Amino acid sequence: MRIDAHHHLWDLAVRDQPWTRDIPALRRTFTTADLRPALDRNAIDATVVVQTVAVAEETPELLALAATDPYVRAVVGWTGLTGPGITDRLAELRELPGGPALVGIRHGIQDEADPEWTARPEVRRGIEAVGAAGLVYELLVRPDQLPAAVRTVRDLPDVRFVLDHAGNPVVGAVGLEPWTALLTELAGCPNVAVKVSGLVTRTGADPAAALRPYADVLLTAVGPDRLMYGSDWPVCLLAAGYDEVLAVAETLTGGLSADEREAVFGGTAARWYGIAE
């Protein structure tokens, strides 16, 4: 089973996506009908749709989609971490149509000014509640927030984490060394997986060459059994089409065995999110 472990969907007629207002290429509706031809061309069997806005109504809508669309097999949604009643809210989401597809919770930490946001006690309590509910907590962070995220993963060993977009590294000579040190430290925590996603938009004309040093670190330190491919569609369209993004990931993993490639392109996501064939 081949799984796209990270993509987005939105309908501007239902809900605004304020972050797209200054990005004309993304300032439109993107549906599964738009994505389906690329999934079929590339033999993608299942997908994980991920939240885009910190609005409570979005997650039920994504769950309802998972209840009806055969491709969308898992949802990473949003709920407020710091207020009371998070355990009850998570339970309520799982009772909704499509509720069993809820596999994780994410917050746009990268939009928080505080580089230590994940270290706040009230945030940690919320993350622990997500883990206690049997869900993954996904980390979407800027490079300056990655040290605190690494500590959070280490300090909460009973929570399963996924690091989105490999921590959003600065691609280039300046960014490689500090990112490598942090990812190597993170790799020592067995309760975290890493998404090979959202990286092509951080490169130039030759994304495979630019990302090769980062892929080598991920494959060596983290290993294929804790890496998962995600297209980051439609955000990836700012740099490349779906087919090209997948081709870059396949190029970067070309030296792996068949079993290792299967892990990156499906097995890890299936195991981490509980996606059955």
Contact indicator for 228, 268 with CB cutoff of 8 Å: yes
DSSP 66-130: HHH-SSEEEEEE---SSSTTHHHHHHHHHTSTTGGGEEEEEE-GGG-S-TTGGGSHHHHHHHHHH
**% of the chain with per-residue pLDDT over 90:** 96
Please determine, for residue 6, whether its predicted confidence score (pLDDT) is greater than 90.
yes
Helix (H, G, I), strand (E, B) or coil at 273: helix
Contact indicator for 51, 58 with CB cutoff of 8 Å: yes
Q: Average pLDDT, stretch 139-163?
A: 97
How far apart CA 13 and CA 16 sit, in angstroms, is 7
Please determine, for residue 2, whether its predicted confidence score (pLDDT) is greater than 90.
yes
Please, which pLDDT band fits residue 204 given cuts at 50, 70 and 90?
A: confident
The first and second tokens of residue 146, run together, are 């990655």
Q: Average pLDDT, stretch 242-246?
A: 98
> For all residues of the chain together, what is the average pLDDT?
97
Cis, bond preceding 234 (omega within 30 deg of 0): yes
Please determine, for residue 77, whether its predicted confidence score (pLDDT) is greater than 90.
yes
Identify the pLDDT of residue 201. Answer: 95
Torsion of CA 238, 244, 245, 250, to 10 degrees: -170
Strand partners, 118: none
Q: Average pLDDT, stretch 233-242?
A: 97
Nearest to 232 by CA among 248, 217, 219, 216: 248
Nearest to 209 by CA among 221, 219, 200, 218: 200
| R_g (Cα) of the chain, nearest Å | 17
Phi, psi (5° rounding) for residue 227? -115, 145
Phi, psi (5° rounding) for residue 47? -135, 160
Which residues of the chain form beta strands (DSSP E)?
3-7, 46-50, 72-77, 102-107, 136-139, 161-163, 192-196, 227-229
Whole-model pTM: value is 0.96
How far apart CA 223 and CA 226 sit, in angstroms, is 6
Write out pLDDT tens, residues 16-67. 999 999 999 999 999 999 999 999 999 999 999 999 999 999 999 999 999 9
